[in-house]
């Protein structure tokens, strides 16, 4: 589904600034109440950040670390992060690459465990030659697109963002994973389509009805 013109949703983090003024006599109690209110708000923000948003951020760090390693074809590797534990899936050229991907992932700060489900595909060398001409800027743009889409999915209450894999290759996005309905499948596709730089979306999402 190519589109000539697309709009993107840009979510900018809100910076919270707390100004503490020295008060005189009777205004001291009001100042203490304000500080307590800010602390409670900050605590709620931290708790929210420790949830799915943090897992998406950590997943992005892992994908970036894999992307920057020139000995790996990271676009054949999928990552899924939950509870600070990363699952690696996809294909690599050799056992050495599988082990390398695992070690790189373990070395990312914040990762507490890795499950390596990578499969060795000896025919991948031919496929890899097709991407050798890809510039670093294109690699980086694709990685940014993937991270942006994942972030949007996690912010969408009606979508299980952690159950969806997003891969971007030359601005073409492929979606894998499970959703609960046709409506959810269409929504995920629309979110991907309306992300900056995306030229095409391949929707391979499977519908699995939620058990009641």
pLDDT tens readout for residues 117-135? 999 887 655 555 555 556 6
- CA dist 61 and 59 (Å) reads 5
pLDDT tens readout for residues 98-114? 999 999 999 999 999 99
In which band, very low, low, confident or very high, does the pLDDT at 69 lie, cut at 50, 70 and 90? confident
Domain made up of 135-212: CATH architecture: 2-Layer Sandwich (3.30)
- CA dist 186 and 159 (Å) reads 11
> What's the confidence (pLDDT) of residue 74?
66
Q: Say if 28-133 and 135-212 have the same CATH topology.
A: yes
Is pLDDT of 82 > 60? Answer: yes
pLDDT tens readout for residues 135-146? 677 878 888 898
Is pLDDT of 10 > 60? Answer: no
Domain made up of 28-133: CATH architecture: 2-Layer Sandwich (3.30)
Q: What tokens does 211 get?
A: 């058990």
């Amino acid at each position: 589904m190519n589109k000539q013109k697309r709009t993107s949703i840009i979510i900018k983090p809100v910076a919270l600034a707390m100004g503490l003024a020295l008060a005189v006599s009777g205004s001291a109690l009001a100042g203490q109440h304000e500080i307590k209110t800010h602390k409670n708000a900050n605590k709620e923000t931290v708790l929210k950040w420790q949830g799915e948003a943090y897992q998406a951020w950590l997943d992005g760090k892992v994908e970036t670390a894999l992307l920057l390693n020139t000995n790996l074809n990271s676009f054949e590797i999928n990552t899924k992060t939950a509870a600070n534990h990363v699952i690696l899936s996809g294909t690599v050229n050799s056992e050495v690459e599988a082990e390398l991907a695992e070690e790189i992932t373990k070395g990312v700060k914040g990762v507490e465990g890795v499950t390596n489900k990578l499969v060795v595909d000896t025919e991948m060398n031919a496929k890899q030659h097709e991407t050798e001409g890809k510039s670093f800027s294109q690699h980086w743009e694709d990685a940014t697109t993937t991270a942006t889409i994942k972030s949007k999915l996690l912010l969408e209450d009606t979508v299980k963002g952690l159950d969806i894999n997003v891969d971007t290759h030359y601005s073409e996005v492929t979606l894998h994973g499970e959703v609960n309905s046709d409506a959810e499948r269409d929504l995920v596709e629309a979110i991907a389509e309306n992300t900056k730089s995306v030229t095409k979306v391949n929707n391979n999402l499977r519908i699995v009805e939620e058990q009641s």
